[in-house]
Structure 1
Amino acid sequence: MRRGMTGSFPSTTDVLIVGAGIAGASLAAALASYRSVLMIEAEEQPGYHATGRSAAFWHESYGGAGVQPLSSASFAALADPAAEFSERPFLSPRTALTIGRAADAGAVDAFVAEFAAKGVEVARLSGAAVADKVPGLRPEWSEAAYEPACSDIDVAALHAAYLRAAKRAGAALAVQAPLRAARREGERWRVETGQGTVEATTIVNAAGAWADRVAAACGIAPVGIQPYRRTMLQVRLDAPVPAALPLVLDVGGSFYFKGESAGRIWLTPHDETPMAPGDVAPDEIDIAVAIDRLQSAVDWPVAAIERKWAGLRSFAPDRRPVFGADRREPAFVWCAGQGGFGIQTSPAISALLAAELGAPAPGGAIGAVDPMPYSPQRFA
């Protein structure tokens, strides 16, 4: 057995999935009963980068109207998973409040109208009704959209369940196995990895921030996947802030925070700093900005910053996920550009993409989603 393998390294596979974070693992779980699958992961363990650094919530409107159909369709699979997949739900109730000042009333109205028209449960609040949701909210933040269905996601449990399901269905996993080069030889790919060489019928690019680099190593034109650094803090407050605090987001996109435990929150300045793929750390200026923006919204004294971390969120130019066959090479398949919403959309994306690769078409809410807006064919 090679170091870094869960079994012997195969010489051939139907589908080679590059990346074993939430995108690659969920696809392997959906596909491995129908095609032979090998996942290769560059790190020592799957989920080290974006998956392991997520703020961990399902928020139906998060990511905008282009992402919402995938989030909405994924809810049932996360809230009530099949018994053989998980013994318990991956979601726990949270609620969400998108807030603004008086000058933002029009933006909040537009937010409510847009998502209510798409079937999202959202209510318009103002004045005292907003203040009642967030103790200590400064009075100038008087306008809000309230979403009762927002939930926390147990990301670690979800990712582990995907990996277990993939293994149970026959998928293999190699860690410390970066894709180094790939070339077409007849009807197959010949792929050099950190664990050996494998031939594959199809390559799936689920490499997150490295997606365009993986494409280039395979001789495929990039689609413009750009990683951005996002900073997160765990803040201890000198105020009795409840753990059940809503997810609170600025309608202008300058911060969000949510309760972590009694008197503690998770906070981000919603920063998006373009970065090269890599292992990122928070910048001190972004930490200071986060605290300043928090204190502009609430009157909670900050006792300590207990943790700080950063991760990469990767977007296509139009900020919609990219999944499906490459427009020039159908044996190269994209599963990338999932921004900060790849975890909450993973049931839908994996089922829709698996159907393109030989699994049965999904039914229900996921089957009703049109995959064409997310296809790489949109990039001319």
Structure 2
Amino acid sequence: MVLPSLASKLPDVGTSIFSVMSQLATECGAINLAQGFPDYDPPQVLTDALARHAQTPGHHQYAPMPGLPRLRALISEKTALTYGVSAPNPDTEITVTSGATEALYAVLAAVVRPGDEVIVLEPAYDLYGPAIRLQGGVPVYVPLALPDFLPDWERVAAAISPRTRLIMVNSPHNPSGAVLTDDDLNALADLLAPTEAFVLSDEVYEHMVFDGQQHRSVLQHPELAARGFVLSSFGKTYHATGWKVGYCIAPPLLTAEVRRVHQFLTFAVSTPTQHALADVLANADHYQSLPGFYQQKRDLFGELMRATRFELLPSPGSYFQLARYQAIAPNEDDVTFARRLTQEAGVAVVPMSAFYHDGTDHGLVRFCFAKKDETLRAAAERLRNL
């Protein structure tokens, strides 16, 4: 018998660094500040709603493919309230997805054809490049400038070619926490005006912007919104990453293409979960309180880390904190340092090189401060003892 052979479509891709570091943290009994998820539960009102709908007859079958109408209507209202824009049409412009990850993949599958180029600003979430390549697309990487990690729009302009199909932006930015401004969106719109390229805007940390700044969404820029796919995440907003519920907002013609893929990729998202989210979404108190909630954690972590030899970079958004470690291990690469920190100090982090397609090493590691205060205090105590 001859067994079939299988040539990998992603032969250079292994297990995600986030899974690797989390597994190492478990093996070592380390405090996990590596993977980006909270160690506290969603609001009680939300988990109560989920329990209620799990007991409701009829709430265990497929939801409509685009998402529950009631949830999409509330997403529309929330979007208009948050960004001061015309409410997107729930029927033709909003699609509920299995997390923002599925939304991102569905957009790329709908838009990118073999040979198309997609501009990716690095460092970037490690999903971007492989998802582009799986569509036959070509990632074109443009580095963000340290230390603020904001785009150099001249370099972006130089990367645009007749084959550019899409540009991906992420604000607040993972892993750096950088936040795009109105000037950045205007510059992006000017660059794309003479092209037929689309924009995919990953805005899953939209409610985590600090120090009095405001998140600027692509939805607020009419020229970008007309060619844009904007992604958001209930998992990030409601401390429920394991629920895997997100959504995509795009103009009707673009939404129709996303749904063509979504219906054969996931089809529908968990029905009781959507009902529970709809129950709480009408109350804006939770997501409007998030900037203050996470700024307190960022500031606490920053204050605790003053007693260590890490050098923290600014973090104007997201729930991530970058840090230099040269005062501790000046000659060590970031992967080796991250592993040793987990094994010897008992605190897991992510090496920054994981966010670069070529493993660029700037001597930085990423901490996640979406943790209970006692977790942050315990981690800082261990780091002080290095």
Alignment TM class, shorter chain as reference: under 0.3
* Structure with the higher strand share, 1 or 2: 1
* Structure with the higher helix share, 1 or 2: 2
* TM, length-normalised to structure 2: 0.25
* TM, length-normalised to structure 1: 0.25
